[in-house]
Amino acid sequence: MNFLEGEVLLVDKPYGWTSFDVVNKIRWNLKRTLKVKKIKVGHAGTLDPLATGLLIICTGKRTKNVETYMAEVKTYTGTLLLGKTTPSFDLETDYNELFPVEHITGEKISAVAKGFLGVQEQTAPMYSAKQVAGKRAYLLAREGKEVEIKAHQITIEQFDVNIDRFPEVTFEIRCSKGTYIRSIAQEFGKRLASGATLIALRRTQSGAFHVSNAQSVDAWLNIINPETIP
């Protein structure tokens, strides 16, 4: 593979890693292996640290395609827990409120899921990498600062749910660029007159790229340099 000229690496991002962690790990190993001081490496769409799955990494001249790849429709699978909320809308922060779930039926859950389909406005969570006044929103949130985040337009093309493990709801969702699944989970709970927290998330597809063709970070490091010790 010609990483300097440009390659697209499909990485199965591990739980707990930021997208930048993956980029930095791959960039450092490429520089060491190729014996260069600089090489372009970037990702095409951030995944939260607690999410796993498909992360598209571009090197060299292929970094020019990052914006194109980012604009593609994404597919995710995951689980939300009804009856509890956290400030971050996921498990990055502790549960802070409890809500009733006894009134929630399968019919109501299906109806709420269908209500998300189509074009709509969405506001990013405070605990997100969204830029606000030149600073990441999550940094402001950790400082206890309240800031206004402008809504942006998204499109939900598919939203399938399963309640076999109620009050957990497993789902598959296909959505446009810029969709925050944590915000979907939080709003899902509200629409059920309850609360909800995203407890698992995995990106399975972005455009024509699928996670089934992705490899682990260690596997890519071994491809970059077969002598690499994980």
pLDDT in tens, 123-162: 877 766 666 556 665 565 565 666 666 778 999 999 999 9
80 and 111 fall within a common domain: yes
Q: What's residue 123's pLDDT?
A: 82
Domain containing 142 equals 74-206
Indicate whether 228 pLDDT > 60. Answer: no
Catalogue the long-range contacts made by 33-37 (C-beta closer than 8 Å, 24 or more residues apart): 33/224, 33/225, 33/228, 34/3, 34/4, 36/4
Q: Is residue 2 part of a domain?
A: no
Q: What's residue 151's pLDDT?
A: 79
pLDDT over 90, % of the chain: 80
Average pLDDT over residues 69-86: 97
174 and 215 fall within a common domain: no
Q: What's residue 226's pLDDT?
A: 81
Domain count of the chain?
A: 2
Q: What's residue 230's pLDDT?
A: 47
Q: Is residue 25 part of a domain?
A: yes
Average pLDDT over residues 50-61: 96
189 and 150 fall within a common domain: yes
85 and 61 fall within a common domain: no
Task: Return d(Cα 182, Cα 53) in angstroms, integer.
Answer: 16
109 and 62 fall within a common domain: no
Dihedral through CA 87, CA 92, CA 95, CA 96, nearest 10?
-30
Out of 12, 21, 48, 90, the active site residue is 48
34 and 123 fall within a common domain: no
163 and 144 fall within a common domain: yes
In this prediction, residue 91 has a pLDDT band, given cuts at 50, 70 and 90, of very high
Residues 6+ apart with CB under 8 A from 219: none
- Whether 160 is a known active-site residue: answer no
Q: Is residue 1 part of a domain?
A: no
174 and 136 fall within a common domain: yes
Indicate whether 61 pLDDT > 60. Answer: yes
Q: Is residue 140 part of a domain?
A: yes
Q: What's residue 132's pLDDT?
A: 59
Mean pLDDT across the chain, nearest whole number?
Answer: 91
pTM, to two decimals: 0.89
159 and 184 fall within a common domain: yes
Q: What's residue 117's pLDDT?
A: 97
Q: Which of 20-34, 87-101, 116-130, 170-184 has the lowest mean pLDDT?
A: 116-130
Average pLDDT over residues 220-226: 91
28 and 114 fall within a common domain: no
93 and 153 fall within a common domain: yes
* Tens-digit pLDDT profile for residues 179-213: 999 999 999 999 999 999 999 999 999 999 999 99
144 and 217 fall within a common domain: no
